[in-house]
Each structure stands twice: as structure tokens, then as C-alpha cells.
Chains A and B, each alone.
Chain A
């Protein structure tokens, strides 16, 4: 079965600093990987995905993610964090018809 792991429950970063939210995956075959963000009292919003091709994927709101096959990782990054980036972030992998989600990482960006 495909799975993803988000090893950090929470990440704290100061506004203006770079941020990284970690995700590792375990799949058989080529992975289809996704990042979603959830703001309070909202559903999940799609940020970006890796299917094939360039290992650096750019997405919404200035986020990007780097696919690393040797480390089986797909970390989410942003060069300069904003207070408004504070939210819950989910990594996911495609398995047959469904997405398998990680447990989520809460990002707190302080002013």
C-alpha cells in the first residue's frame, strides 16, 4: 500500500524566513504526490503536485516542492514565509482511485 509520513506535528517559523514542511513517501512504482493546505473552518485546497518530469514543482501562493527519489521525500518549501501561511498542510499520494493523506503538519508563522 502507498503511504506518506509527515514527521512533524507542528513547524514554527518567523515571518520572512524560509519554511520547509517535510513529507516522505513509501510507494511501489512511480509516485503521484500532492500537497494540500487547510485553513481554519475550510476544506482542503490544492497547492501542487508531482507526476513526472522536473523534480522541482512550483505551485500556488509561492510554494514549491522538491521530489527526491533517493530520499523518498517530497518536502514543501517557501523562500519567505507570511503570517497568512499559517494553516494545516497535508501531503498525499495517489493509490488507485484515492488519495492517501498524511496526518498533517500545522505551520505557525509568527510576525
Chain B
């Protein structure tokens, strides 16, 4: 596998619940990303962190709240989600964001279902 782990792999939550997704990378990278993958849509970048600092927020609703305590860990806190938020949430990491040539390494994703 890729050295990027995500937990849980599957999550079902009601619209009033609060839950968190966790991502950990074991590759020594310093940039981490959250993507949303919905059926029939391109992957959507949500957030970018570089050396623990958020460098991009792609107009994501405030019901999604990221947290990056260090370069190896990334969380996505969820609250009062909507059914249309059901998707596969992918975490990725790379060796920095400033160099455009670096590929990103993805985790297996968390399949989220909002009921």
C-alpha cells in the first residue's frame, strides 16, 4: 500500500451527528490534502496543508472543519452534514506543495454515508 492510512474506512452518520475522519502518512511528507470523490464527478480538492499550515480552502462549507496537528496527521471534523455530502473522502500527501513535479500519494479513503 501507499503509506497513507485512513480511518474509519466506512462511516454512517445522521445529519445531527459529529464525527471525525483521520489520516496518517508514514512517508515523511510535509503536505497533506483532503479530496472528495462523488459518483459521476471529478475529484474535488477540499483543503491543502503545508507544514501544518492551511494553504488552500476550496470554498468548502463550514460543516467540514480540517485540523492538522503535525505534518503526519490530518483530520476532517464533520458536523450537521447533508445527504449530498455522502461520498468517498480521500486523503493524500506529497513532499511539499511548492514543487509542481511532486506526485501525491493517496490513502484508501473513507466511504461516508449521511442518513
Contacts and interface: CB of A to CB of B under 8 A. Distances in A.
Given A43-B90, A45-B2, A51-B101, A98 B56 contact: yes
Interface residues on A, range: 20 to 34
B101 A90 contact: no
Contacts of A51: 100-101
B37 to A, nearest CB: 9
B76 interface: no
Given A97-B48, A97-B56, A98-B45, A46 B103 contact: yes
Residue of B41, B100, B105, B108 ringed by the most chain A CB atoms within 10 A? B100
A44 B94 CA distance: 13
A43 B103 contact: no
A92 to B, nearest CB: 8
Residue of B31, B42, B56, B101 ringed by the most chain A CB atoms within 10 A? B42
B68 to A, nearest CB: 14
Interface residues on B, range: 20 to 34
Contacts of B90: 43-44
Interface in A47-104: 49, 51, 90, 94, 97-104
Contacts of A98: 33, 45, 48, 56, 58
B11 interface: no
A100 B104 CA distance: 12
A99 B92 CA distance: 11
A67 B26 CA distance: 32
A41 B2 CA distance: 14
